[in-house]
Structure formats: C-alpha cells, structure tokens
Amino acid sequence: MTEMKAVVPGNAVSVEQMNACTKAFPESRANRVARNAVTSMGVVNAARDQRAAREYRETFGVSLPCAKSVTHQDKSGRCWMFSTLNVLRSKLIRTLDIDDFEFSQAYVTFFEKLEKSNAFLERIIETADRPANDRVVNHITLHNASDGGQFMFCASIVEKWGLVPKSVMPETACTVDTKFMNEALGELLIADAAKLRAAYAQGATAEELEAQKNEMLESIHRLLCCCIGEPPTTFDLALAVGEHAQVDAALVSELNACGERILRDRGLTPQQFVERYVGFNADDYIELTSMPGTTRPFGHLFAIDWFDAVIGGRPLRLLNMEMTVLEQAIITSLKAGVPVYMMCDVGKRALRYAQDFKGLMATDAVNLEDLFDIDLSIDRGDAFDLNATGMSHCMVFQGVELDEAGEPVMWRIENSHGANEDYQGFLHITRDWWRAFGGDIVVERRFVPDEVLALRDTLPVEHRDPWDGFINYRPW
C-alpha cells in the first residue's frame, strides 16, 4: 500500500494580530469615517467621487439615431442575443425607412435552446468513452442549458432559422424569466446524457447513439413549444414603411386617412424575411479582442473548444489585437452610422444606478482605493489570468465623444435592460473604464484595416480550453 503523505496546513490567522488590528482600527479618523459611510450607504455610494463624476458630460460628437424603443431582456441572460438583434434592427430600420422595430427574441430563444441542446448531446456522445469526472465531461455537464452566448451563436441561428417580428412571436413567461425553463431543460438534458453514456457502455454504435439523440430532440422540442410556443414556419408581414423604403413597390399600398404606406408581404418564411429586409451575412463581420498576457499574444487568432453552440454554424474566431485597433474600428463604424456589438465586465466601478449620475461607468468615479486605503493595482493580463475580470455582458456602441486628437473620451452604449434603467436605457462609459474592463467587439469588416483582415483570414487557429485563462468568457 502506498503511504499517504501528511497534509501540511498553512499558517493560520493569528488571533493576536487580528485583535491588535481591531483595537487599532478606530484610532484612525479615516477608518471611522469610512466605516460609518460604508455601513450606512454601501460600498459604491460611499466610494463614489462626485468631483470626478460630474466632469463627464452626456454629449457625444458622434451619435447614431437609435430605435425609439429600448429592448428589455428581463430576467434572462440573453444580452448577447438582444445586442446582436439590436445591431441587425438598425439595418432593417434603414431598409424600411422607419424609426422603430423589434425582432422576436422569443423566436431566437426557441432555436438557441434547441441548438444548444443538440450541441450538448453531440458532445456527450463524443466524450462517452471518458469517465464522468473527466474535466471536459464535467465542463460540458455543468453548462448544459444556461442563457449565455455570443454574436456568432446568434448569427448562426439567424442564418439557419431566420427571424420574425416580435408581434409574430412575442415573449412568454418563460422567456422573460428563464430560470425554471432552464432548470427543466437542464434536468432533461442530464437524464438524456446518462442514457446516451449507458448505451455507449453497452456497446451501442455511433449510428444507434445518433438515432437515440434525434428521438431526444423531439422531447426537447416539445418542452420548448410548451414554454415558448410553436415557432412560425411562415407569417404575413404588414408594416407601415417610410417613403424611401427599399422594398418591392408592388407590395406597398397606401391605407387609411393618414396616408401611411403599408408593406404587405404574405406567406414569408423567417429566412425570406431576413433575406429581403435585413440583408444579414455573417461573413461581413469580424470579432476582435484585446486581452493581453503572456498566454494571449497580440496578433494571434484563437478558438475556444467545446464552446460553439450551433453544430455546423459559424465558429467563434477571436483575433487578439491592441486596444487601439478595436477603438479605431469602432470609431470608423460609428462615423459611418453603423453600431458595433461589444462585450465588457459590466459590474465593475459602475455608478449606473446612482440617481444623479445614472448610467455612468468611470474608473475614477468609484474610488475604492481611497475608501478602504488599499492597493488594487493589477496588470491587465494578470486580471484575466486570475479571474479578476472577464466578458460578462454584451451591449452595443452607439456613439463616442472624441478629443482634439481624435481619441475617444467617452462611449455611448445601448443596453438591453429597458428605458427605465441606466440613462434612458443607455450607458456612458469612459475611455479608461473601457480599457480596463472591456475588450471584445464584433464589427463589419469594411471598417477594419486591410492588414488586420489579412491576419484574420490567414493566421492558423490556436485552440484553447474553455476553462483556461485566455478569454474568461462567462460560460454558456
């Protein structure tokens, strides 16, 4: 029998040292003031620097006209979906010459859940020869039915399944609050995973496992229909459009005393709707990240294994570049009137809920260092390596204020938490905040320099595990 090595405990907290700290704490006036402030009003309100915050203005030299409505993801983790659709609706609004529109997020949610379920079961089959405590199997089973995702996940769904207006398939109780739907779906997927692994252990062939998986997808489809409703395969589009709408004139007629021009397109499939009125092609977009570190060199193209949500869809490909490359691409796109999808660590140093500074996110406006007399300085690469930050929320760049040198001062960001949150649904984030807690965009290729596109198109793809310190995306 192999002799077990004794576990040597580390040094315990010293009672004497901590008692001395407790006794000494109130002797400092700064400590007393900080204690009273934090215990009565909380960390953020006590740490806010009003003088710094009031220096920022809600003006933007470059500001895009946005849809009248502000979308609301409610109690769900579908920010990536809402943000992608917010980018796409700007295309449709221009095409139809209208001032507002909203796609059906419920329709996309239905197929997001279906595609993720298929990807999950395929990976269960792929790893059926591994033990249950294998790290890959553990990762797959931990992340089986949650809401998170990426622009390219949504792009894959749009290209395969199309889109419909929100009026055709509105939100349901299960899409505005996804918790219990996800729990039910997750239980079903884990039960199915156990069946597939047992079948493999009993000698089932790959063809037999695939057939069993397809039967499971029918049960998953039934669950989703109960929670979200049946997705339409065709629908009739009836929509008031503007004078300069770029549509088939034969489908437009004037109706009612207001003289509205009504577009009527009957029997549309969701795919035809995208083709005729959105004109979306995922090939037009590139994803750029700026996440430094010795394991994340700039000028390299990365993929995350066991991560893509749509089998056969658009794979996630991340070109890691200096932050200035991302910022110039954003500015170029905004100047051309095109919004940009982004990801950031939205909870950091945010005054977004303060009544007098609603929506503001600025590193100098929430001064934790002075409040607690601590040192929070950290290398940005270390912050990603050690999980101090990560890409936790998706939104859309809609404007920027530039200084005399053309450098960004503050960004205007469209959120998806409704018009009553933040500053009428928008965030204002400073250059320093974005450079500390941002670092992922999806932008049209035409706004990216040729030399950067050449890297994206020619570099070999470097694969990373989903749990390593590369990107630190919050897993789906």
Catalytic residue set: 79, 393, 415
Q: Would you put residue 267 in left (φ > 0), alpha (ψ -120 to 50) or beta?
A: left
Amino acid at 364: D
Say how far apart CA 420 and CA 426 lie, in whole Å.
Answer: 10
**How many angstroms separate the CA atoms of 342 and 266, rounded?**
35
Residue 73, number of CB atoms within 10 A of its CB? 23
List the Cα angle 82/86/88 in 5-degree steps: 120
CA-CA distance, 115 to 370, in Å (whole number)? 48
CA distance 168 to 149: 24
CA 303, 306, 308, 313 dihedral sign is: positive
456: left (phi over 0), alpha (psi -120 to 50) or beta: alpha
Contacts of 429 by beta carbon, 8 Å cutoff, 6+ apart:
344, 360, 361, 362, 410, 411, 413, 438
Q: What is the DSSP letter of 403?
A: -
Taking the C-alpha atoms of residue 287 and residue 316, their distance in angstroms, rounded to an integer, is 8
86: tokens are 């917010």
What is the identity of the amino acid at 313?
Answer: G
With residue 428 as reference, give the H or E element that holds it: strand 426-430
Distance between CA atoms of residues 460 and 171, nearest Å: 41
The C-alpha atoms of residue 126 and residue 206 are separated, in whole angstroms, by 9
Cβ(331)–Cβ(298) below 8 Å:
no
Alpha-carbon distance of 287 to 119, in angstroms, equals: 22
CA–CA separation, 399 and 408 (whole Å): 10
Tokens of 111: 């197929």
> Angle 105-126/179-201 helices, nearest 10 degrees?
20
